[in-house]
């Protein structure tokens, strides 16, 4: 088994950075209950819902200036 892992590691290192990144995604997905694609789809739906709520005027907004001021206050 260790020999197989060493061979796979060598092959993976020979991949382009983009290919290694995709391989890492696939391997990480295989370890999780919900595949990354499902999680990303859920976030996409959440973003669409929040944008629609904002467009309808249903969300309370906070200015970036206020957010940064609060962050600075909390960081002290």
pLDDT, tens only, 45-64: 999 999 999 999 999 999 99
How far CA 43 is from CA of 36, 53, 74, in Å, comes to 10, 15, 28
Output the pLDDT for position 11.
97
Considering its fold, how many domains does the chain have in total?
1
Q: Is the pLDDT of residue 70 over 90?
A: yes
Distance from C-alpha of 13 to C-alpha of 5, rounded to nearest angstrom: 12
DSSP the chain: -HHHHHHHHHHHHTS-HHHHHHHHHHHHHHHSSS-HHHHHHHHHHHHHHHHHHHHTT-S----HHHHHHHHHHHH-
Q: Which range marks the domain in which residue 31 is found?
A: 2-75
Instruction: Categorize the per-residue pLDDT at 30 as very low, low, confident or very high, splitting at 50, 70 and 90.
Output: confident
pTM of this prediction exceeds 0.75: no
Q: Is the pLDDT of residue 69 over 80?
A: yes
Instruction: Categorize the per-residue pLDDT at 36 as very low, low, confident or very high, splitting at 50, 70 and 90.
Output: confident
């Amino acid at each position: 088994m260790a020999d197989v892992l060493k061979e796979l590691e060598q092959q993976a290192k020979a991949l382009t950075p983009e290919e290694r990144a995709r391989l890492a995604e696939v391997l990480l997905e295989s370890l999780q209950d919900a595949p990354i694609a499902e999680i990303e789809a859920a976030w996409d739906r959440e973003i669409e819902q929040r944008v629609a709520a904002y467009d309808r005027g249903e969300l309370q907004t906070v200015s970036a200036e206020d957010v940064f001021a609060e962050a600075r206050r909390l960081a002290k």
